[in-house]
């Protein structure tokens, strides 16, 4: 009976591990597939391509996203002293520390 429980535990752990590892493997295999094959569940691409890795080398032709990122980061940087003054980002009521 003890051996059966041990084997059952290993079977459950293996099934859980495969459940969690499959999306990661699918994501990697989808990066080597053309756009027409990305929706398929198979891990092996029919038409192998490196086109998914070509866009990261060239600069973005539309710099609007970089401007928006700069605005957001500047706003967050301006809020940092206020967040630290109120005890950081915690749930619950904020506490004001007076010096």
The domain of 44 spans 1-58
For the chain, how many structural domains are there in total?
2
Q: What is the pLDDT of residues 1-16, one digit of tens each?
A: 889 999 999 999 999 9
Count CB atoms within 10 A of the CB of residue 33: 21
- On whether residue 97 sits in a domain, the answer given is no
- On whether residue 51 sits in a domain, the answer given is yes
Across the range 63-78, mean pLDDT stands at 79
Same domain assignment for residues 38 and 67: no
**Residue 70 CB-density burial (10 A; 0-12 exposed, 13-18 middle, 19+ buried):** exposed
- On whether residue 12 sits in a domain, the answer given is yes
Torsion sign, CA atoms 32, 38, 41, 47: negative
Same domain assignment for residues 15 and 30: yes
Across the range 62-68, mean pLDDT stands at 75
**63 or 9: which carries more pLDDT confidence?**
9
pTM of the model: 0.48
Same domain assignment for residues 65 and 54: no
Same domain assignment for residues 4 and 47: yes
Same domain assignment for residues 32 and 49: yes
Determine the pLDDT at residue 3.
Answer: 92
């Amino acid at each position: 009976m003890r051996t059966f429980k041990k084997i059952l535990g290993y079977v459950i752990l293996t099934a859980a591990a495969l459940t969690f590892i499959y999306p990661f493997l699918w994501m990697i295999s989808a990066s080597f597939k053309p756009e027409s094959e990305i929706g398929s569940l198979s891990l092996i691409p029919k038409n192998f391509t490196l086109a998914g890795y070509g866009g990261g080398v060239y600069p973005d032709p539309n710099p609007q996203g970089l401007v928006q990122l700069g605005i957001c980061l500047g706003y967050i940087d301006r809020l940092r002293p206020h967040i630290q003054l109120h005890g950081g980002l915690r749930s619950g009521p904020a506490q004001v520390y007076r010096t």
